[in-house]
């Protein structure tokens, strides 16, 4: 037996939840789909995955870290209080659920927990949404992901066509469902089978093979057309590099962190001018090695979830599935 609701009734359910939680939903805003705070008449984007991944919910594109004031020799540092409200994130696809696992590895393990990330993560209740029809650029199953089961979800939602079904997984998820239990019907529902994938990639043995491919000529070839524009990293649900900078006005300032990208020259250049990754070949190589070799070495998982966003957004068609293919054939 599953809890089901007509899709037409979903706004009503979200409205109800928004009374208690901050509710984030996939929505179309100014032509781009992304997660946004639920409000009446918001155009939900449930037919396919959102263009912008959910990473900015936990790791905002720009985030204030602390304030400071400096005058003559004195300095004051003031921490910025965090929001305390629980947030329900509805409609996260399996690929993006896996990306949250990748981000958790980075921000919450290896001896240091990042308090800015952890705070938002701890306050989040995740409702995963199963897929029925892959988009042209999807290849999540190639990365070992089940498109109908989101890893780490508090609630799993299933797309049944006219209706949605909900399954509480964690206690926290169950609690959320209980708040709107009156809206659900209880019925046996068959989950529609997943459609055929247009794109695939065979990553078997790739991390191991890459151990001996640092100096391979393949990188000249792969990097040639790259523009170092960083679009791939910005839309990537797992890319997590950031810069820390100050915004200063007179004697006051705020320390911010913002998304950064390993495609940029400034990313690694040191005071004095030494540059460990001087050209785009070195930078493109680092990006793909990070995704397919370094991250697996460090965290035992790939840093790619097969969401296909970079495949769609790359202005020069630098397709990661094609890179994987070239590595396999090299």
Partner 1 sequence: MAVNVEDVKKINPLVPIKAKVTRIVQETPDVKTFHISTMDDQKPFDPMPGQLGMLSLPLVGEGMFSITNKGENHIEMALKEVGQLTKALHEIEVGQEVGIRGPYGNGFPIDYCKGKDLLIIGGGIGLAPVRSLIMHCIKNRDDFGKLTVVYGARSKSDLCFQEDLFENWTKVPNMDVFVTIDREEEGWDGHVGFVPAYVEELAPKPQVTVLCGPPIMIKFTLPSLQKMNFSDQDIITTLEMRMKCGIGKCGRCNIGSCYVCLDGPVFTMEQLKDLPPEY
Residue 244 interacting with partner 1 (CB under 8 A): yes
Q: With contacts defined by CB under 8 A, name the span among 126-134, 161-169, 186-194, 256-264 that binds partner 1.
A: 256-264
105 vs 141 by CB, closer to partner 1: 105
Task: Give the shortest CB-268-to-partner 1 separation in angstroms.
Answer: 5
Q: With contacts defined by CB under 8 A, name the span among 10-18, 63-71, 139-147, 177-185 that binds partner 1.
A: 63-71
- Please count the other Cβ atoms lying within 10 Å of the Cβ belonging to residue 265: 13
Residue 114 interacting with partner 1 (CB under 8 A): yes
Contact 62, 242 (CB under 8 A): no
Task: Give the shortest CB-150-to-partner 1 separation in angstroms.
Answer: 24
Contact 267, 239 (CB under 8 A): no
Residue 242 interacting with partner 1 (CB under 8 A): yes
Helix (H, G, I), strand (E, B) or coil at 259: strand
Residue 216 interacting with partner 1 (CB under 8 A): no
110 vs 225 by CB, closer to partner 1: 110
Cα–Cα distance, 88 to 86 (Å, whole number): 7
Closest to 167 measured CA to CA, from 16, 25, 2? 2
As a three-state string, the secondary structure of 239-256 is CCCEEEEEEEECCEEEEE
Task: Give the shortest CB-71-to-partner 1 separation in angstroms.
Answer: 10
Residue 184 interacting with partner 1 (CB under 8 A): no
Cα–Cα distance, 131 to 158 (Å, whole number): 8
The runs of H, that is alpha helices, within 33-128 are 55-58, 94-108, 115-122
Cα–Cα distance, 25 to 90 (Å, whole number): 5
Binding partner 1 by CB under 8 A: which of 28, 298, 326, 328? 298
Q: Return the DSSP state at 224.
A: T
Residue 240 interacting with partner 1 (CB under 8 A): yes
Q: With contacts defined by CB under 8 A, name the span among 35-43, 136-144, 288-296, 305-313 that binds partner 1.
A: 288-296
Q: How far is CA 16 from CA 11, 13, 62, 156, 263, in A?
A: 8, 5, 30, 19, 43
Binding partner 1 by CB under 8 A: which of 35, 58, 90, 116? 116
Residue 122 interacting with partner 1 (CB under 8 A): no
Beta sheet of 74-79, edge-to-edge order: 74-79, 62-71, 252-259, 242-249
Residue 106 interacting with partner 1 (CB under 8 A): yes
48 vs 282 by CB, closer to partner 1: 282
Residue 193 interacting with partner 1 (CB under 8 A): no
Q: With contacts defined by CB under 8 A, name the span among 9-17, 39-47, 275-283, 315-323 that binds partner 1.
A: 275-283
As a three-state string, the secondary structure of 3-54 is EEEEHHHHHHHHHHHHCCCEEEEEEEECCEEEEEECCCCCCECCCCCCCCCC
Task: Give the shortest CB-100-to-partner 1 separation in angstroms.
Answer: 15
Task: Give the shortest CB-57-to-partner 1 separation in angstroms.
Answer: 17
Helix (H, G, I), strand (E, B) or coil at 219: helix
| Residues of this chain that bind partner 1 (CB under 8 A) | 65-66, 68, 70, 73-77, 79, 106-107, 110-112, 114-116, 214, 240-246, 248, 251, 253, 255, 257, 260, 262, 267-272, 274, 276-277, 282, 286, 289-290, 293-295, 297-298
């Amino acid at each position: 037996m599953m809890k089901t609701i007509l899709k037409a009734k979903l706004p009503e359910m979200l409205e109800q939840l928004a009374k208690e939680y901050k509710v984030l939903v996939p929505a179309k805003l100014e032509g781009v789909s992304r997660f946004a705070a639920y409000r009446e008449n918001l155009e939900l984007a449930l037919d396919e995955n959102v263009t912008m991944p959910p990473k900015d919910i936990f790791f905002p594109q720009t985030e204030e870290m602390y304030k400071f004031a400096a005058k003559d020799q004195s300095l004051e540092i003031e921490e910025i209080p965090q929001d305390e409200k629980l947030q329900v994130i509805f409609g996260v696809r399996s690929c993006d659920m896996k990306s949250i696992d990748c981000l958790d590895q980075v921000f919450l393990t290896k001896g240091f927990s990042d308090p800015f990330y952890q705070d938002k993560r701890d306050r989040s209740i995740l409702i995963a949404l199963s897929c029925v029809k892959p988009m042209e650029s999807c290849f999540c199953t190639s990365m070992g992901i089940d498109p109908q089961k989101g890893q780490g979800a508090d609630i799993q939602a299933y797309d049944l066509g006219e209706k949605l079904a909900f399954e509480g997984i964690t206690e926290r998820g169950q609690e959320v469902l209980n708040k709107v239990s009156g809206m659900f019907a209880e019925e046996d529902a068959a989950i529609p089978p997943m459609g055929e994938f247009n794109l695939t990639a065979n990553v078997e043995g790739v991390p191991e093979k890459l151990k001996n491919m640092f100096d391979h000529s393949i990188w000249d070839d792969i990097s040639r057309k790259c523009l170092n524009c960083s679009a791939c990293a910005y839309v990537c649900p797992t890319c997590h590099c950031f810069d820390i900078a100050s915004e200063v006005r007179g004697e006051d300032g705020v320390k911010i962190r913002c998304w950064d990208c390993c495609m940029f020259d400034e990313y690694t250049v040191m005071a004095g001018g030494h540059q460990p990754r001087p050209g785009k070949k070195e930078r493109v190589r680092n990006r793909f090695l990070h995704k397919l070799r370094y991250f697996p070495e460090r965290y035992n998982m790939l840093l790619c979830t097969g969401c296909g966003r970079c495949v769609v957004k790359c202005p020069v068609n630098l397709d990661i599935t094609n890179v994987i293919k070239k590595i396999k054939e090299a």
